[in-house]
Chains A and B, each alone.
Chain A
């Protein structure tokens, strides 16, 4: 019985069960359905302009912003790049990217630990306003620094890239498998620090491939430049290949 007001309501909270009819419906709809629908709209929006969207996921401090700065400096003469910069607070990272002279929209989540597709849609529209009719080749979405939650939310990206820096430790793919499971590219960043940390490239590779056998793994250092060429090469290739495979490809994500 209800122990709050003495109304004799059974504890399952159904005061009139015997007089009201109930119907059981089979639904089978993902809890992420609304987000996934918006993500599909985001992707089609980008595809209508021939833009490849890349979602960057990592823990805080893995070097997403630094790698983006390096990437922009190398590619901005040949490709039109835009960035959606996700952070819980401040526009610091957005300012860093903006200083490289490319269009940036800050997506400040105000507490939320991940970006979701509706927020990214607003960001894409603001990016359109900044670029006018000049369509972008690549939009990078720098997700909130968090190796856990962002892995659950599709944003409309064509490719998901997970970054893990050497100081974080090579045990992370085993401990945070979902980000590695749902990504296509895995960048081991701050490779120049390998001599100073107990980090096994072999372990990180075998663990990540154990979780996701098709994951492409590229170790690099934005500071020393080592390995950056492979990343840039990959970016050039996906931009080159986007007609029709990327632009048409619903299936390229996951």
Chain B
């Protein structure tokens, strides 16, 4: 549910950046959502589309999301896997069941923006 607030934050960041750079339009914004950021990616994209039309500079902005998947670590022996195993599948190393936990970063970062100048002006930066 907090994804809409986060999308609003992003839009505010983009509007500010566009003003700082004297850009007429934000063409693209690239955002990284870490696997443990606690953000539902679809809801975030939905929120972004809902909010972006509030500003002329963002109303056509394309959102690009970089969402690496989590790794999974066995709590008992520390074995790491790329995929989550079913809860009843034993760990290949130690045999424990249901002890896999997601690991990864919780970053939520605006990585890059593509800006377009006003009336063909070149953007400083």
Chain A contacts to B: CB under 8 angstroms: 12-14, 16, 19-35, 112-114, 116, 146, 148-149, 151-153, 174, 177-178, 181, 206-207, 210-211
Contact = CB atoms under 8 A, between A and B. Distances in A.
Contact of A24 (B1, B39, B101, B114): B114
A211 B17 contact: no
A22 B114 contact: yes
Contacts of A21: 116-117, 120-123
A240 B106 CA distance: 32
Contact of A20 (B9, B120, B125): B120
A31 B6 contact: yes
Nearest to B120: A20
B99 interface: yes
B83 interface: no
A180 to B, nearest CB: 10
**Interface residue tally on B, bucketed by range:** 35 or more
A2 to B, nearest CB: 11
6 contacts: A22-B27, A22-B114, A23-B116, A25-B115, A114-B2, A152-B39
Contact of B115 (A22, A28, A35, A114): A22
B116 A27 contact: no
Nearest to A181: B36
B24 to A, nearest CB: 8
A218 B26 CA distance: 49
A207 B101 CA distance: 8
Contact of A22 (B13, B116, B119): B116
Contacts of A12: 62
A207 B23 CA distance: 49
Contacts of B101: 174, 177, 207, 210-211
